Structure 1
Amino acid sequence: MAIIDIVKHQTADGELCYKFESDDLRMGTQLVVHPAQTAFFVKGGAVCDEFTAGTYKLDTENIPILNKIINLPFGSDSPFQAEVWFVNQTAKLNLPWGTPHPIQIEDPRYHIIVPVRAHGQYGIRVTNPRVFIETLIGSTGSFSSDQIEQFYKGRIISALNTLLAQQIVINGVSILDINTLLLSMSDSINEQLNQLLGKYGVSIIDFAIMSITFPQNDESVIKLKNAKDLAARLNITGRDVYQMERSFNVLEAAANNQGAGGQMMGLGVGLGAGVGVGNAVGNIAGQYMNTNPSQVPPIPQSTPLYYLAINGQQVSNLTVENIAAYIAKGVANASTLAWTVGMPSWLPIAQIPALASLA
């Protein structure tokens, strides 16, 4: 091949590293290194002399390390062979990333394991050209820009599985709400990735998590949503009111249970629950327990007594007139939750036909 008289390379957009197409050089060859570039001579896999931006005429004085290997006489223009690698130190931005497989993460609030995926983008810049080129030379004989990108993306993704899980646990926020913390999580992971990738001579720039997703129809996600709904319900009505409602459900099921044996067992449970939620319901259950078990007495029909949830507390055995008085005094209003025997769940006063006119 012809001897090369000038060695230079105009970096392509987004290119991090380039190996000059010929290694047939001679003393006196001109080397041109553009701004934001660093050039290296490589011989036999060893990184030798380094050149920053400028124009150089090669001689035995400015390539001392390489000259020890090729051992050319001083002042000669003898040909020699050596690779010339150009490293670009401008940033390559807007590189996409994504977790190829779901990451199994335990929700830190509700302790349900959910498969999550994440994607975003990042930038990469060479901050230590010598370490960077030594990493590449030690790995393979040549690198395309795409190969270099995949080399570092693989290391980023492998680290992300652990870092994402750590961030979710550290923040203590449910996976259902984690997208509200993407910015702070991105900054923290950016810092940790730079610590991990510093040994390769590169820095991560503007690492961003754009979204964290999970399959909406996955059984674990459905459980997680139900757990969140229950927590919200308890927060609104209070735990005591929620437990009272569950007790009423037990009594309601007992009252509707068919068969003497089933009714005895159901109302036996109802008796215990009724004592906790109101004497009226408890008396019905107790009245049944003293009756001929072969005959199930009907629940007496009378003016219904209501229960209100006011300031997180149960107010029991209220007539319609009592509730009207509460509303008049401002103690209750249209949105106050109420319940009576026969209702499947608590409802606002405004949604109960017998009480709606009061509000």
Structure 2
Amino acid sequence: MAIGLDIVKIIKYEGDNNELVWKHPAEDFNTGSQLIVHESQEAILFKNGHALDLFGPGRHTLSTENIPLLRRITSIPTNGESPFHCEVYYINKVDIMDVYWGTAQPIPIQDPVYNIILPVRANGQFAMHVADSRKLLTKLVGTTTNLTKDKASELFKGILLTRVQNLLSDMMAVRQISFLMINSYLNEISDSIKSQVAPLYDEYGMEIVNFFVNSISVPSDDPGYIKIRNALASAKEKELSAKGTRAEMDILGYSYQEKRTFDVLDKAASNEGAGAGILVASMGMGMGVNVGGMIGGAMAGAMSNTMQGQLQQNNPAPVEEAAGEAECPSCGTRLPGRAKFCFNCGLKLGGDICPGCGKPIIAGAKFCLECGRQL
């Protein structure tokens, strides 16, 4: 930019993209002055507060011949150079991509799933550019000498954050979307906010190119968030434990229901007295038809032979009394009375015979699966 002692000959602006509007410091020009406008710029001449001609990219000679509106307010001849007073504003038309925004204060919203009020925060960025230079200068800039990207963002901040708060409250409270799922709706939220704020920017000559919500979060030290996180962690741990037990049962070849039945019976058999039999019998009634039948059959024998079992523990019957055939408790195959394992399914037997019913005993068992007698 070259400035003479009194009159400016060359008028131009070469600044960075942070400046949306820049006013040339000189106000006195000659009719032959050269106005240079770069490809990404527009220039507007003002006289006494009135916007005159708008100049696009290129080199323009300021004269009353090519500036019709200037001719109306000057009485200078068309030939020769004569001074005139005017203001020149440069408008940056590039897309400003890195306009960041964020909620300064958290928004208290009740989670629709967990019924806990969470302090929700949101942040993101958007791009904008000047769409109407005249409208921007007359409605927003006024008499100020410049308008930066940060100043423009601050002017629209209140409008933008109000729309963000209303939309997040609508998504969680009205549409019943939990905070834990809200980030899967970022594209929908971004488009909705853009559609709401775009007309407001357009009113002042600005256009929203794109708008993004980068994240919606809650402070990690918030008590409500910690409560939800711990509850989910506990539920996940139980789920993984149950899946692991079921996988183990599939590998061993018997069902999870059978495993639970055996565990209950084994625990009850380790307790002394008839009370254990009553406990397990009552549990069997609530574990389904199949399991209840297994427990009921076993416990019925245990209850009916409680006293007899206590006497026989001190004087067990000779093994010879159970000589003969027996039945595998797993597959039902008929076996010799002293069989160590099932010839059909390979079930390992204890090598002993139940003194109560004469059936083979599973190795390590604390009661007979046939009659329920304690061993």
* TM-score between both structures, scaled by the size of structure 2: 0.58
The residue correspondences of 1:48-197 to structure 2 (distance < 5 A) are: 48-75=52-79, 77-138=81-142, 140-169=144-173, 171-197=175-201
CA contact (8 A) 2:21 2:91 kept: yes
Is 2:204 aligned against 1:204? Answer: no
In structure 2, what residue type is equivalent to 1:321?
A: M
Deviation at 1:307, TM superposition (A): 6.5
Aligned residues: 261
Q: Describe the shift of the 1:306–1:151 C-alpha distance in structure 2 as closer, same or farther (beyond 3 A).
A: same
Deviation at 1:147, TM superposition (A): 2.4
Deviation at 1:180, TM superposition (A): 1.6
What 5-or-longer segments of structure 2 have no aligned partner? 237-273, 299-329, 331-365, 367-375
Q: Describe the shift of the 1:80–1:139 C-alpha distance in structure 2 as closer, same or farther (beyond 3 A).
A: closer
Deviation at 1:89, TM superposition (A): 1.2
CA contact (8 A) 2:18 2:148 kept: no
State how far apart, in whole Å, the 1-side matches of 2:35 and 2:118 are. Answer: 56
What 5-or-longer segments of structure 1 have no aligned partner? 233-298, 329-353, 355-359
> SS of 2:26's equivalent?
coil
The residue correspondences of 1:173-322 to structure 2 (distance < 5 A) are: 173-222=177-226, 300-302=275-277, 303-304=279-280, 305-306=282-283, 315=288, 321-322=294-295
State how far apart, in whole Å, the 2-side matches of 1:71 and 1:163 are. Answer: 57
State how far apart, in whole Å, the 2-side matches of 1:51 and 1:323 are. Answer: 97
State how far apart, in whole Å, the 2-side matches of 1:17 and 1:226 are. Answer: 52
**Aligned residue for 1:285?**
none
State how far apart, in whole Å, the 1-side matches of 2:17 and 2:285 are. Answer: 70
Is 2:14 aligned against 1:37? Answer: no
CA contact (8 A) 1:190 1:205 kept: no
Q: Describe the shift of the 1:203–1:4 C-alpha distance in structure 2 as closer, same or farther (beyond 3 A).
A: same
**Aligned residue for 2:16?**
12
> SS of 2:142's equivalent?
helix
When structure 1 is superposed on structure 2, of 82-91 and 156-165 the one drifting more is 156-165
CA contact (8 A) 2:129 2:206 kept: yes
Q: Describe the shift of the 1:96–1:117 C-alpha distance in structure 2 as closer, same or farther (beyond 3 A).
A: same
Deviation at 1:3, TM superposition (A): 0.7
> SS of 1:27's equivalent?
strand
Is 2:6 aligned against 1:2? Answer: yes
When structure 1 is superposed on structure 2, of 104-113 and 207-216 the one drifting more is 104-113
**Aligned residue for 1:25?**
29
**Aligned residue for 1:265?**
none
State how far apart, in whole Å, the 2-side matches of 1:163 and 1:213 are. Answer: 15
Deviations 1:139-195 (A, max 9, x none): 734334432343344543343322333344565310122112212221222222212
CA contact (8 A) 1:125 1:202 kept: yes
CA contact (8 A) 1:14 1:93 kept: no
State how far apart, in whole Å, the 2-side matches of 1:323 and 1:56 are. Answer: 103
Q: CA RMSD in A?
A: 3.9
State how far apart, in whole Å, the 2-side matches of 1:41 and 1:130 are. Answer: 10
Q: Describe the shift of the 1:161–1:48 C-alpha distance in structure 2 as closer, same or farther (beyond 3 A).
A: farther
Deviation at 1:29, TM superposition (A): 0.9
CA contact (8 A) 2:20 2:147 kept: no
* TM-score between both structures, scaled by the size of structure 1: 0.61
State how far apart, in whole Å, the 2-side matches of 1:19 and 1:25 are. Answer: 14
State how far apart, in whole Å, the 1-side matches of 2:127 and 2:182 are. Answer: 23
When structure 1 is superposed on structure 2, of 104-113 and 180-189 the one drifting more is 104-113
State how far apart, in whole Å, the 2-side matches of 1:193 and 1:212 are. Answer: 19
Q: Describe the shift of the 1:228–1:190 C-alpha distance in structure 2 as closer, same or farther (beyond 3 A).
A: farther
Q: Describe the shift of the 1:167–1:44 C-alpha distance in structure 2 as closer, same or farther (beyond 3 A).
A: farther
Q: Describe the shift of the 1:301–1:108 C-alpha distance in structure 2 as closer, same or farther (beyond 3 A).
A: closer
Deviations 1:69-115 (A, max 9, x none): 44444445221222111111110112221111111223344454321
